[in-house]
Each structure stands twice: as C-alpha cells, then as structure tokens.
C-alpha cells in the first residue's frame, strides 16, 4: 500500500475517532507513514538516509517497523510526553498495520517470525488500494468533507 493510501487511512480513522487538532493530526500522518521506513522508496523512507536500506535488508520488510513491540515502545515514549500525542500515534500506526494486513503479510509479533495477513479471496493488493481510495473519494464527494470542516470550526 502506498504512502498516500496510508495517510488517507490514518486521517479517516482520526476523523472517525474525533481527532481534529492540527498537532495530533500531524502525528497521525507521520505515524501512518512510519512503518514503511523499512523501504527506501517509501514516502517517508526516501527522506531518511541509510536506515531504510538497512531495515529492508536485515530484519526485512514488514517486520520490526510493523511490529506491536515497536508500536508499544514508541507509544510509551510519546505517552510520557503527551497522552494525546500517544493516542494520535496509536491511531496512525494502528491504521497502517490494519491496512497492511489486507494487502500482504505483517510480522505483528516480531521478533517472533510469524506473519499475519487477511487474504481477500485472491484479490490483488492494488485492487484493494484502488477500492479504498475510491470509497474515500465517494465519502468525501457525498459530504464527508463536511465532517472535516465541522472539526476545523469546532
């Protein structure tokens, strides 16, 4: 799943859960992109030198950066700084992991080498991604954007 899809997923989850302040929304966006720093060509990974290449080769894609262990560790650090930041992080990071489960296999319990996925009857991941973006577009086109406007004026 590409970075734009993960941002859309994270922002949508945030909107549904009532997160609408700029700083938490920024955290949601970064957290929704963060797991894919295990790929040098990802939206966030292309701005980080060396680390994505190392992560892609050593533990492998969709392992440590897609694990509940890393998510929980970062959540605890953020929670010590600001509980609302930790919630925003959990929404973004969690939405990423959830979406990836539908487009492949994820080592949620890394370092335990078990990968989880929800195969959708052989539907190719790109079709799921296109369908998700189309649903989001339909949601916005049918008035979903009003939710964002109401949040901005609340």
- Residues near Zn ion (CB under 5 A): 35-36, 100
Angle at Cα 29 formed by Cα 105 and Cα 133, nearest 5°? 65
Q: Which residue, 85 or 93, has its beta carbon nearer to Zn ion?
A: 93
Q: Which residue, 113 or 143, has its beta carbon nearer to Zn ion?
A: 113
Closest CA to 104 of 36, 29, 43, 45: 36
Q: How far is the CB of 77 from Zn ion (least distance, A)?
A: 21
Q: Which residues, at least 6 apart from 11, have a Cβ–Cβ distance to it below 8 Å?
A: 25, 28, 29, 32
Q: Which residue, 20 or 115, has its beta carbon nearer to Zn ion?
A: 115
Q: How far apart are CA 96 and CA 123, in angstroms?
A: 19
Q: How far is the CB of 6 from Zn ion (least distance, A)?
A: 7
What would the two tokens of residue 62 be? 């969709």
Q: How far is the CB of 112 from Zn ion (least distance, A)?
A: 18
């Amino acid at each position: 799943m590409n970075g734009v899809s993960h941002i859309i997923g994270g922002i949508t989850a945030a909107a549904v859960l009532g997160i609408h302040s700029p700083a938490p929304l920024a955290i949601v966006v970064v957290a929704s992109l963060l797991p894919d720093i295990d790929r040098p060509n990802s939206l966030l990974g292309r701005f980080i030198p060396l680390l994505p290449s190392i992560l892609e080769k050593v533990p492998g894609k969709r392992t440590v950066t897609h694990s509940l262990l890393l998510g929980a560790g970062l959540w605890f650090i953020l929670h010590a700084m600001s509980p609302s930041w930790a919630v925003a992080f959990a929404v973004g990071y969690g939405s990423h992991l959830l979406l990836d489960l539908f487009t492949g296999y994820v080592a949620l319990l890394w370092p335990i080498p078990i990968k989880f996925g929800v195969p959708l009857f052989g539907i190719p991941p790109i079709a799921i991604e296109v369908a998700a973006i189309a649903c989001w577009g339909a949601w916005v086109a049918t008035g979903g954007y009003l939710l964002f406007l109401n949040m901005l004026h609340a």
